[in-house]
Amino acid sequence: MACELKENYELKKHTTFKIGGCAKRVFFPATVEEFFELLNTLKNPIILGNCSNVLISSNGVKEDVIVTTKMNSYEFVNNTLTTLCGVKVPFLSKEAENKSLSGFEFMIGFPGTVGGAVYMNASAHSQAISDTFKSCKVYDLNSKKIIELNKDEMKFAYRSSILQEGNYILLEAKFELLPVLKEEISAIMQRNLEFRKGKQPGLSLPNAGSIFRNPPNDSAGRLLEKAGVKGLKQGGAQVWLGHANFIVNIEDATSKDVSILMNKMYNEVKEKYTIELVPEVKFIGVKSKEEEEIWNTLLKTK
């Protein structure tokens, strides 16, 4: 196969959590053609971007893995941006700023890629990826063909899109941005960065972003703070002291450490407020018996 392949690759060096065991084979496509060939050839591969909102099992991953970060081509034509799925969104945020184009200011501090941002309809500061989204090319797992989806077909909602239903894999996306004075865009981006500094740990403290989704008309962080989970520890994992909806890897944490800590957080909120928080972080890989039980509870799949 034409694209780069690494064998017995340690996934933790590729994740923002710095947690995860090995995958036997990891492929790094650089073009839509290479990605398409892999998707047509491999059986049920796991697809990863910048791994900024995933918890990868310390026991590793059995399946083949495709990492999209080498798919980093993009093009601006007037106000329209066409980008492959592996481009990092803070980079696009800066590129749009340089061209006096608005719509991506909210992603300046995000560690993820376009693929992850569209998959979860990333949002912050009253902006969302769906606001500027125009269309995309996806791989259809049923027909094994590349098809185009428009905005309506994407079923965008809070932190969700049709991609989460598992039939499509994003290859390329197109966005329509708005011309705005560069000074205004820069000011918004600066405010967003300042806000994140106080509310979220930097990647010098390995983390996977928000652990739980906000329930309707409430904040997971507020509920967790009131439930008193800040500073809770499990093995090498700790609920961040700066914000109760983040777990940081303080000392070689394992996926089991994080799973147990998430379960404690979930139970504290459920006990105090009868609200069952839904994980924002996705578990990938081989689960131990204890992890299986915890994640069945968290995802209500029992």
From the candidates 73, 100, 159, 196, give the one annotated as an active-site residue: 159
Any catalytic annotation for residue 280?
Answer: yes
From the candidates 210, 259, 268, 291, give the one annotated as an active-site residue: 210
Q: What is the DSSP string of 205-269?
A: S-B-S-SBPPPTTS-HHHHHHHTT-TT-EETTEEE-SS-TT-EEE-SS--HHHHHHHHHHHHHHH
How many angstroms separate the CA atoms of 12 and 199, rounded? 25
Sign of CA dihedral 32, 33, 38, 44: positive
Any catalytic annotation for residue 25?
Answer: no
How many angstroms separate the CA atoms of 88 and 24, rounded? 25
Say how many C-beta atoms besides its own lie within 10 A of residue 194's C-beta.
11
CA 89 to chain CA centroid, Å, is 11
Any catalytic annotation for residue 97?
Answer: no
Residue 63 backbone phi and psi in degrees, to 5: -75, 165
From the candidates 280, 288, 292, 293, give the one annotated as an active-site residue: 280
Is the separation of the CB atoms in 74 and 92 below 8 Å? yes
Tokens of 171: 């290859």
Q: Which residues are catalytic?
A: 159, 210, 280
